[in-house]
Amino acid sequence: MKIKAAVTPETGKAFEIKDVELPKLESNDVLIKVAASGICHTDVSGRDTGIVNPPAVLGHEGSGIVEEVGSEVTELQKGDHVVVSFASCGECDNCLANHPAHCRYYGDLNLNSHIDQETNQLVARFFGQSSFATYSLVNQRNVVKIDEEMDLALAAPLGCGLQTGASSVLNVLKPEAGSSIAVIGVGAVGLSAIMAAKIAGCKNIIGIDLHENRLELAKELGATATIKSGKDVNIAEQIKEITGSGVQHVLDTTGVDSVIAQAIDSLDTFGKIVTVVTDFNLSIPLEALALKGGSIVGTSQGDAIPQKFIPEMISYYKKGQFPYDRMVKFFEFDEINKAFEESENGSVIKPVLKMN
């Protein structure tokens, strides 16, 4: 099947809209007419760092309408409105224990994409979907059915970044009502975490970032205090001034060594840090962590089960508790390079491409 796709021709190069062939539908596959696709930092990494094998098609926050299903697909049918999330095998011990985001084959299933240059066929799909395209072929495990009242374009970014931020708070940190949390880095993931912390009933919700515009939006979405970070800013000291004894919870979205060291210093006794990305040269002041009885853990996708958590986010949105539309800006499909540029310069927090 011939489709239009935004192709990454070489590592670090701009996207080009081209014709690409999709493989044939297999028994567990779902063919989706893509309505929209969010742009996430991982797409930037896919374009620029060589984690895929170009020419490739990126995109991993797709939404759309089911066009066709394979013979073994029973929960979905033509015409269903869906969001597409990450891929998992469904058979390893972690998947069977309801931790698909920590599937033992997560890297193989998600962090690759390639177009065979002889056949022009998309033989490996990014996060099992490659949704920067007019159609996407995905395994049924990636697909989440949503109600038809939800705007499909607005639903697209729920499949990764927003899920990661919100679920890292609600399903990993699990803050008690009245507790304190610091969110370091308030892009799309961090702002989702702030909204989730408000849902959880946190007393102190502290947003930390370099950009004033993001901190202002953080206040509007639930932050009770903000800290503008910088080279000479003592984050831990300011957190303690706000809370008295430090925070019980920290979500770090930066992976920066020096920032995580300050996060440890900001913890109250038995506090917990969750990081969604780590610096390859990360060094942790273990003595400080041990004396506090603190812990630091990593998470993929906030350990979410998309089929459960994406509808939960939609429910919060409809109740006015998760107004993530405040950080979304829509772009036409052929404006993909502009959308990436505005995301990287910080003028747009969550760009979403509309395919139709």
- Check: CB of residue 353 under 8 Å from CB of residue 331: yes
Per-residue pLDDT of the chain (356 residues; tens, 9 = 90+): 999 999 999 999 999 999 999 999 999 999 999 999 999 999 999 999 989 999 999 999 999 999 999 999 999 999 999 999 999 999 999 999 999 999 999 999 999 999 999 999 999 999 999 999 999 999 999 999 999 999 999 999 999 999 999 999 999 999 999 999 999 999 999 999 999 999 999 999 999 999 999 999 999 999 999 999 988 899 999 999 999 999 999 999 998 888 999 999 999 999 999 999 865 677 878 888 899 999 999 999 999 999 999 999 999 999 999 999 999 999 999 999 999 999 999 899 999 999 97
Residue 35, CA atoms < 13 Å, CB-side half-sphere:
20
**Residues 273, 87: Cα–Cα separation, whole Å:** 26
Who's near 31: CB < 8 A, 6+ residues apart? 1, 22, 25, 66, 67, 68, 69, 135, 136, 137
Integer Cα distance of 153 and 63 in angstroms: 7
Exposed/middle/buried for residue 12 (C-beta within 10 Å: 0-12, 13-18, 19+) = exposed
Q: Where do the structural domains in the chain lie, given as residue ranges? A: 2-159+323-354, 163-301
Fold (topology level) of 163-301: Rossmann fold (3.40.50)
**Which superfamily does CATH assign the domain made up of 2-159+323-354 to?**
Medium-chain alcohol dehydrogenases, catalytic domain (3.90.180.10)
Which residues 6+ apart lie within 8 Å of 99 measured at CB?
303
Given CA atoms 4, 6, 8, 9 in this order, what sign does their dihedral have? Answer: positive
| Pairing of β 143-145 and β 135-139 | unpaired
Cβ atoms of 256 and 280 within 8 Å: the answer is no
Task: Give me the count of residues in the chain.
Answer: 356
